[in-house]
Amino acid sequence: MFACLDDFERHAERTLDRNALDYYRSGAQDMVTVRENRRAFDRLCIRPRVLRDVSSVSTVTRLLDHSVASPICIAPTAMQRMAHPEGELATARAAERRATCMVLSSWSTASIEDVAHASAGLKWLQLYVYKDRETTRRLIERAQDSGFAAIALTVDTPELGRRLPDIRNRFRLPPHLTMANFSSADKAQVGGSEEGNSGLAAYVASQIDPSLSWADVAWVKSIARVPVLLKGILTAEDARLAVQAGVDGVIVSNHGGRQIDSVPSTIAVLEEVFCAVNGAIPVFLDGGVRRGTDVFKALALGARAVFLGRPVLWALHYKGEDGVTEMLDLINEELRLAMALAGCASIADITRQHVGPLAHLPRL
C-alpha cells in the first residue's frame, strides 16, 4: 500500500520503460526549477487556528462555472499510453469517479472524441497554436463539439525546452502509439531524431508557431465558445495583460520546470500573479504539488485550484484508472486533514493569514 504520492513515483522508477520514465520526469537543463517547484513549498508554514468547529470538512469548490468535489485537478500531460495501455481514457474515468476536472493534452495518445466517450466528467483541452492555424481551429472545434468545458492555451512553448535525458535517449514515441488528435498529414508520429536532439523537439520546431502573440490569444477567443485560460503565466506584468486580453483565467505554471531552467517556482510567484489580476479572473496553479499541505498553501496564496501532472502519470502506470483514483483519494485525504488541523471547515475558510514564511518561525 502506498502512503504518499512519492511512493507512486518510486514504483515507476523501478518498473517503467526508461524512454518513457526519462521523458515524464525530465526538466530543462540542470532541472533547477524542477527541484525548486517542490522545495519552495517547504519554505512556507501553515498558521493553524484552533477551537474551530471542524466536525464536518468539505473540499467542494467551483471551477469556473462548475462544481467539483475538490480543488485538486489533473493537469495536461502528453502521451499517457506510454505509462499504461489505457492512457488518457483511464485518467478521464478516474477524474469522473472523483468528480474533479481533467485537462487533456493536445498531444494525447487518445483522441478528444475517445476521451469524451470514455468519461462524462468535467474536461478542459490544453491547446498549442500550430503554424497551420486550421489545425488549431479544428482542435478547438472538436473539443467544443465533444463537450469540453474550457480551453487552456499554453503560452510558454515557442520552442521546446532543452531536456538532456530526451536528447541522450533520442526520445521517440513508441511506434505503436501516435498523437491521436492528428492525422498522418499533421505528422502525428514523433519518431527518433537526429543526433543532438529529441523527436519531440524536432516535432515542435516543425509544427508549433514561435510567433505566438497576444493577437493570437484574441484569435483563439474569437473561435472558442467556451472559456479560454492562459497556461504558463509567471509574472504580474503578463497577468495584467491577460486580464486586458479578456481571458477567463490564468494558470501559474512553468511547465513543470521543462521549458526554461532557473525560472521561479510557481508557488513563489502565485501571490504576485493573484494580486496583479486583482480579482478580475481566477488564478490556478500547477507545479510541484505533492502533499495536501501544498494544496492548502496554494489556496491560501490565491489559487482557486491546483493541477497535478507527474503524480498522475506515476499512478496511471501503477494501476491504470484505479491507480489514479487511489492517488487522488490519498492527496484529497491529506488536504481534508490539513484543513481540519488548521481550523478550516470549507475551502472558503482558507485565507492568506493561514500561511507564512518558514523563516519567521521562532527559534526554540
Catalytic annotation, residues: 255
Pick from 167, 165, 175: nearest CA to 202: 167
Q: Please tell me whether 105 is known to bind a ligand.
A: yes
Are the CB atoms for 155 and 230 separated by under 8 Å? yes
Q: Please tell me whether 294 is known to bind a ligand.
A: no
Strand partners, 125: 104, 151
Q: Please tell me whether 309 is known to bind a ligand.
A: yes
Residue with cell 505528422: 187
Q: Please tell me whether 360 is known to bind a ligand.
A: no
Q: Residue 204's CB: how many other CB atoms inside 10 A? A: 19
Q: Please tell me whether 35 is known to bind a ligand.
A: no
| 5 backbone dihedrals φ, ψ, rounded to 5° | -65, -30
Q: Please tell me whether 76 is known to bind a ligand.
A: yes
Q: Please tell me whether 268 is known to bind a ligand.
A: no
Residue with cell 492555424: 133
Q: Please tell me whether 255 is known to bind a ligand.
A: yes
Q: Please tell me whether 282 is known to bind a ligand.
A: no
Q: Please tell me whether 283 is known to bind a ligand.
A: no
In the chain, the DSSP E strands lie at: 44-46, 61-63, 66-68, 72-74, 102-104, 123-127, 150-154, 228-233, 249-252, 283-286, 305-308, 355-357
Spell out the residues 6+ positions from residue 215 whose beta carbon is closer than 8 angstroms to its own.
Answer: none
* Distance of alpha carbon 336 from alpha carbon 293, whole angstroms: 9
Q: Please tell me whether 210 is known to bind a ligand.
A: no
> 228-233 and 150-154: which strand pairing?
parallel
Torsion angle, alpha carbons of 258, 263, 266, 267, to 10: 140
Q: Please tell me whether 23 is known to bind a ligand.
A: yes
Q: Please tell me whether 310 is known to bind a ligand.
A: yes
Residues comprising the binding site for glyoxylate?
23, 128, 163, 255
Q: Which residues are annotated as a binding site for FMN?
A: 76-78, 105, 126, 154, 231, 253, 258, 286-290, 309-310
Binding-site residues? 23, 76-78, 105, 126, 128, 154, 163, 231, 253, 255, 258, 286-290, 309-310
